[in-house]
Amino acid sequence: MSDENTVRLIEQYKNNNSDISEMVIETCELAQDLIKWNKETNEGASENIDLTKLKFKTNDPAPPFNYQSDPQYADVANLTAILLDNQNHSLFVRYRAMFTLRELNTEESCVAIC
């Protein structure tokens, strides 16, 4: 997915198709953000995230935050605020909050997702 040809194709498709839906544009943006995150963090290594050791083995458009080493990301209220704030946080960051809530896997975090 992070091949340069894929990056160019996503950018070309997103920018050159005026008749595509907002959902497709958002999907392209998520893909771009994930590619960027993978490169910048060496696929999570610099954030001390081992994607192979997550509780849920799914192919998500964004990784969770490392709630084990950063207490702000273990705080359900903080994650919920991020998830619901589309004015100050990108969809990628909001998805990271949602997948962190899922990884927390508590009753409180499940209610927050709902």
Identify the weakest region by mean pLDDT among 25-29, 32-36, 83-87, 104-108.
Answer: 25-29
- For residue 15, name the pLDDT band (cuts at 50, 70, 90): confident
Which domain does 96 fall in, by range? 4-113
Domain count, the chain: 1
Using DSSP, state whether 1 is helix, strand or coil.
Answer: coil
Backbone φ and ψ for 75, nearest 5 degrees, come out as -90, 110
What is the identity of the amino acid at 41?
A: T
- Is residue 17 pLDDT above 70, yes or no? no
* Statement: residue 18 has pLDDT above 70: no
* In the predicted structure, residue 12 carries a pLDDT above the cut 80: no
- Contacting residues for 11 by C-beta, under 8 A, at least 6 apart: 28, 32
> Is residue 25 helix, strand or coil?
helix
Q: How far is CA 108 from CA 31, 39, 58, 75, in A?
A: 29, 33, 21, 10
| Kind and range of the H or E run holding 8 | helix 4-15
pLDDT tens for residues 24-59? 888 888 999 999 999 999 999 999 999 999 999 899
What three-state secondary structure class fits 58?
A: coil
pLDDT-derived band at 9, boundaries 50, 70, 90? confident
